[in-house]
Structure 1
Amino acid sequence: MAQLADEILSSLDPQQRSVATALKGPVCVIAGAGTGKTRAITHRLAYGVDIGVIDPKRVLALTFTARAAGEMRTRLRSLGVASIAARTFHAAALKQLIYFWPETLGGRFPSLLTSKTGFLSEAMKRANISSSKKSSLLRDLAGEIEWAKVL
């Protein structure tokens, strides 16, 4: 085992080390919050890259939140593996849509909303809804949309 590989594994507890060294096939890591799942997974990737089992250009690390994806990228960089892509499921799906859209459906990928406020303000204007409390109404509408997304 290379010196760097030893360093990658040295800070892990026995359970995390077993995750990091399980390089054949998929691994399911089930543990509570704050138990070191992200740490074990990022060390698994770094260890695999270091010993030559994992090609970093063929890895996509997925997570649910932008914060977790950022944390994963930071940890991978600190382990010397900046070339592994770490994204949210939504960001990865969007990247695929943008890439394959022209080839599959033709034309440019449609623009996406970056702000609900402008969209809702325009919708209110088109529906002839005016209010002296426009900003609070916009906020309430945006809140209702967020709640509807959860249901």
Structure 2
Amino acid sequence: MYNIQSIIDYFLSKEEMTPKKLQKLLYYAYSWHLVFENESSDELSERLFSERFQAWVHGPVVPAIYHQYKEYGGSPIPRVEDFNLESANFTDETKDVLNQVWEIYGGYNGNELESISHQEKPWLEARGGCSPIELCQTEINDETIFETYGSRL
């Protein structure tokens, strides 16, 4: 497992971005890492980081990261200029997952990524019977994440 800040710094070294976009990139990095680094949903021991996502109104959110960057609102968080990929000590597999997530999802803005996550089972299942604007702090289930994205391979 990695410190979530190293994953944040990786994405912010690519470009400045809104907190919403950052949250969704973290979600997709976590999700795809879960798929590629574990054999089955019965034993999900390999996680990218320990923090868990909740099914908030605007999509998957790590609450601590929301509070860390909430001052930015809809404005971009500045780019991290001094990130060193080698000092992050990512495995080659992790680098590959992060690079692929950036290549696939990095071109979308936060609102587009929110829309994508709203159509996917992990967020929908965790929201349950909540209305579209209702506060929800239900954690998104790792097994559902694994099954949903693993089925796309």
- Higher normalized contact order (CA 8 Å, seq sep 6+, divided by chain length): 2
TM-score normalised per structure 2: 0.24
Report which of the two has the higher share of helix.
Answer: 1
Q: Which has the larger radius of gyration?
A: 1
